[in-house]
Homo-oligomer: A and B are copies of this chain.
Amino acid sequence: MIVDRVTLSDVAAAAEVHVSTASRALNASTRSVVKPETVKRVLEEAERLGYRPDPIARGLRTNRTHSVGVIIPDLENPLFGPIIAGIEAGLVADGYSVLISSATSNHQDEAVRSLADRNVDGLILASAALADPVVERLVKTGPPTVLVNRFTENADMPAIIGDDLLGIRLAVDHLVEMGHTRIGHVAGPEQMSTGIGRRRAFEAVMRDYGYPLLVEGARGFQIEPGATATARLLERDPSITAIVGANDLIGLGSYLAVRASGRRVGHDIAVTGYNDVTMLDLVDPSMTSVHVAYRHMGAKASELLMSMLGGEEAPRTTLLEPTLAVRSSTKPSSD
């Protein structure tokens, strides 16, 4: 700062009171103990001088920094923009600041530690692995924490996640409605709840229908692994007429593999994605996908964290209801 900060003692001097009095006058909770007249004088001087309390100094004394840490596994993935936006909007409304850090599940440790050093009041993790030692430790000894988008099986940590069972059911129901019975699933990595969860959901729904279980796992949530796994799937059972991708990029990989096998997406083989990232309506053919309200998810996460910081006991897990965005990849008629 080039201009000198206006400090509490400046205000106190201007109002001709002791700093402690000024402090109490300024803080709503202690205001009642100081004479209304004095309060008025202090507030006026504070206003006039443009006093803004130093959250750092305050944090040193009170052990609350009014900041929360957010850990994102991959900032370049368009999924996380809306999540961060939702989190941020919720937090600044409550006067909190957001410390952001990027770290994959395997390297969260240092990120968590550095945020803890900064004495964040709470933590929001989008980077949890299915079996996550870091989360396990946080649950025992760490600031209040909320998981978002992914959850952990080895620790009881509140999470805001999409209802993958419902989402997959929406996709499969829609495909069945379109007449498909031989439906395959290209699953995501099993280390993430989003990978294994959707796979289990798919298996459950298909069992309900009594249809065969055709599943291949992709090495990652990206296009190429999706293409490779789809190729394996098609090779294993050429009679497949529909593919449920574990996320949109895997679905786009399926596009490539389907084409490579000489068939047309939408006409010969239907494909669905998951997440409904932006521009999915503009690919060729536009892709049917399970839509998750990620901004809302972020907002919910910050809301939950705020209530935990307010001392409330947190509910274990909140499921967000997805919807299905139907497009040409499963309904070529609309082409």
Say yes or no: A100 contacts B84, CB within 8 Å. Answer: yes
Does A28 have its Cβ within 8 Å of any Cβ on chain B?
Answer: no
| Cα–Cα distance between A289 and B124 once the two chains are bound (Å) | 36
| Cα–Cα distance between A142 and B2 once the two chains are bound (Å) | 6
**For A53, what are the chain B residues with a Cβ–Cβ distance below 8 Å?**
117
Say yes or no: B81 contacts A78, CB within 8 Å. Answer: yes
What is the predominant secondary structure among interface residues of chain A facing chain B?
mixed
Give per-residue flags for A36-60: 1 if the beta carbon is below 8 A from chain B beta carbons, else 0.
0000000000000000111111011
Chain B residue with Cβ nearest A110: B92
Interchain CB contact (< 8 A) of A54 among B55, B81, B119: B119
Chain B residue with Cβ nearest A78: B78
Does A85 have its Cβ within 8 Å of any Cβ on chain B?
Answer: yes
Interchain CB contact (< 8 A) of A284 among B1, B92, B282: B282
- Given the known interface contacts A56-B59, A119-B1, the answer about A99 and B97 at a Cβ–Cβ threshold of 8 Å is yes
Does A114 have its Cβ within 8 Å of any Cβ on chain B?
Answer: yes
Task: Select the residue from A81, A119, A141 with max chain B CB neighbours within 10 A.
Answer: A81
Interchain CB contact (< 8 A) of A113 among B52, B84, B140, B252: B52
Say yes or no: A114 contacts B141, CB within 8 Å. Answer: no
**For A119, what are the chain B residues with a Cβ–Cβ distance below 8 Å?**
1, 54, 56
Give per-residue flags for A58-75: 1 if the beta carbon is below 8 A from chain B beta carbons, else 0.
011001010100000011
Say yes or no: B88 contacts A77, CB within 8 Å. Answer: no
- Given the known interface contacts A76-B81, A252-B282, the answer about A1 and B116 at a Cβ–Cβ threshold of 8 Å is yes
Say yes or no: A76 contacts B117, CB within 8 Å. Answer: no
Chain B nearest CB: distance from A142 CB in Å?
Answer: 7
Task: Select the residue from A59, A60, A82, A97 with max chain B CB neighbours within 10 A.
Answer: A97
Chain B residue with Cβ nearest A97: B99
Chain B nearest CB: distance from A294 CB in Å?
Answer: 9
Does A102 have its Cβ within 8 Å of any Cβ on chain B?
Answer: yes
| Cα–Cα distance between A262 and B252 once the two chains are bound (Å) | 29
Residues of A that sit less than 8 Å from B by CB: 1-3, 52-57, 59-60, 63, 65, 67, 74-78, 80-82, 84-85, 88-89, 92, 97-102, 113-119, 140-143, 252, 255, 277-280, 282-285, 295
For the complex with contacts A92-B114, A98-B101, A279-B280, 18 further pairs of A-B residues with Cβ separation under 8 Å are A1-B116, A1-B142, A1-B143, A3-B141, A56-B60, A74-B85, A75-B85, A76-B82, A85-B102, A88-B102, A92-B101, A97-B101, A97-B118, A98-B100, A252-B279, A252-B282, A279-B283, A283-B284
Top 6 nearest A-B pairs (CB, nearest first) are A284-B284, A75-B85, A78-B78, A282-B283, A100-B100, A2-B141
